[in-house]
Structure 1
């Protein structure tokens, strides 16, 4: 009789339980019909250019979190400060931290200012309320992971931004998880950079509330054919965006803290070190070879 597997997680690690299929179901996989593709989900930024958007958080070390967000600054004004105010009560911010911001270009696209701020030290398993930037910005909340077992992970990959994605995110939102592990192929932008922006807006409700630890897939490579040679003094020089430009700029992971030379592979501790998670992307050699 054919069998199917169910993964079980507990304090002792990961085990697999073999479950029998129902009688007469031996060829169920052969009868599977792939559902048709679903359309993209449109997410529009309808707030002022300096309003933080695409907010997501990640674990940095034992008791810190990195807050990332984007502001659109195409109106010519200077970028708002990379500041996060936070505290354990709504509207009461007892601490603040300052970080940095940068932009990147890809062909004729230029990103907004991408801000990165690390906050902490933070208490484990605690809800913090925070706002990004200066002024009366939207208040968000996050919960830090626990410092001991049990810890609950959500594992997803090939996320995209279609109606199927929206259904997946809805299922995740129903779970009281601690950390999301995203195993590559995030936005499916494939060189269309505005899709990175719409993806960030789509996942913000979840990614701003729990740490999302991501790694890359083949859809993050995004190297395009170079444009025509530059005229004048630089004649003969062909400029081309580097691989993983959007991924590296937008989703900064704790590579330095884990001793990794690349954001494509790194590690971090969870549950006070009871679990050590290795995020190992399979395309690191592409970054090294160009």
Structure 2
């Protein structure tokens, strides 16, 4: 028999004893999809906090539930914060999917399954007209556009999402718990359509480790730069951050530049450009902007646009490269505003014509869409923009894009402040693509 005073002591220590036992976290969370780049495939990524198997059970909508199984693996990610929190990032790639077919799936293991989600396999036809939502700079706090994006995604309005840098504000904070919470928030979008990303400046802590570990983009560059094809478009995602965080490897500027040159050369081979005439780029920091904040894009000698002369050897910028290979549309974020530019090159406007500036434009079209919502609020504009600034808005919102066919591409800006009103729209029309289109 335990003496009374010993029993009382044990009871008083019970909460401490319970707190000393770590919970078992085998339940999948933070589920998100991405397109691995190969037709008929989809990557499923999720997180657990204990090691488990990595399985996806799936089946065609209307067929037998979970009749197919795919297996993958997990990598241990240890956050670099004080607590050195551990999480397991699971990745499974589904293959041999039927184009445009809808699948129902869940992921996890026999120690815990996610809820049931669905997605539509990407149509691999070059005549497919994909629809995108695109934005950057969305945080865990004040993600104003998120609810509208969640609903529209679940209504089937988008085939893919492009998140153009700056996630969570910031994923590493509170020992990466803010990153976890943000990934839970976007699950209601990203578990239904491929969520394609590029890094921004807010991912830089611990050498972009949260970004590099949490996302699963095509290629072998830890999601820093890659390209993929959809419909009649070749889409390139790049890191503008290589120009600003030289401590993490000055050689990355040259590595990425060389990769971009090879990728653009391949995309411009006549047989490739004939079937995928549109070349689109997405990168976080713009080459041009008219915001009133002294960012790189407000400077004539922007690093992203013109490169850096203070490196050895001097680092090349991206404007001439993109112009030389006939990039059609360049998508940016970073500025917490929306800005549409007239076709611009070398700081000068090159409209197709006065009446129809975006019909056969003589330079790339730039769109800045960084106002999805975060704790830093929206930015202010310079009251005296240069002549290349065509339309500006400080409303919270995001952009929709549809690559309609080989000659027509549509863009529109949604204002969340104005209850989903479309406040700006353009058609980019091109009879010819590539360098020769500029003349």
Unmatched tracts of structure 2, length 5 or more: 1-22, 253-439
SS in 2 for 1:147: coil
Counterparts of 1:252 and 1:200, CA distance in 2: 13
Aligned to 1:121: 96
Assess if the C-alpha contact under 8 Å between 2:171 and 2:177 holds in 1: no
Cα 1:90–1:194 shift into 2, 3 Å: farther
Is 1:265 matched with 2:218? Answer: no
Counterparts of 2:71 and 2:188, CA distance in 1: 22
Counterparts of 1:214 and 1:56, CA distance in 2: 12
Counterparts of 1:140 and 1:175, CA distance in 2: 13
Unmatched tracts of structure 1, length 5 or more: 1-46, 74-78, 223-241
SS in 1 for 2:168: coil
The higher-RCO structure (CA 8 Å, 6+ apart) is: 1
Q: How does 1:3-18 map to 2 (within 5 A)?
A: none
Query: Who wins on radius of gyration, i.e. which is larger?
Result: 2
Cα 1:120–1:158 shift into 2, 3 Å: same
Counterparts of 1:69 and 1:214, CA distance in 2: 16
Aligned to 1:49: 25
Displacement of 1:219: 0.3
Q: How does 1:154-233 map to 2 (within 5 A)?
A: 154-161=133-140, 162-170=142-150, 172-173=152-153, 174=155, 176-189=157-170, 191-192=172-173, 193-222=176-205
Counterparts of 1:216 and 1:243, CA distance in 2: 11
Counterparts of 1:152 and 1:48, CA distance in 2: 40
When normalised by structure 1's length, the TM-score is: 0.68
Displacement of 1:104: 2.1
RMSD in angstroms over aligned alpha carbons? Answer: 2.2
When normalised by structure 2's length, the TM-score is: 0.46
- Paired residues in the alignment total 214
SS in 2 for 1:124: coil
Assess if the C-alpha contact under 8 Å between 1:104 and 1:246 holds in 2: no
Is 1:84 matched with 2:64? Answer: no
Displacement of 1:98: 2.2
Encode CA deviations 1:45-78: one digit per residue, 9 max, x unaligned.
xx972111000010012221111000122xxxxx
Is 1:281 matched with 2:239? Answer: yes
Assess if the C-alpha contact under 8 Å between 1:264 and 1:283 holds in 2: no
SS in 2 for 1:106: coil
Assess if the C-alpha contact under 8 Å between 1:101 and 1:114 holds in 2: yes
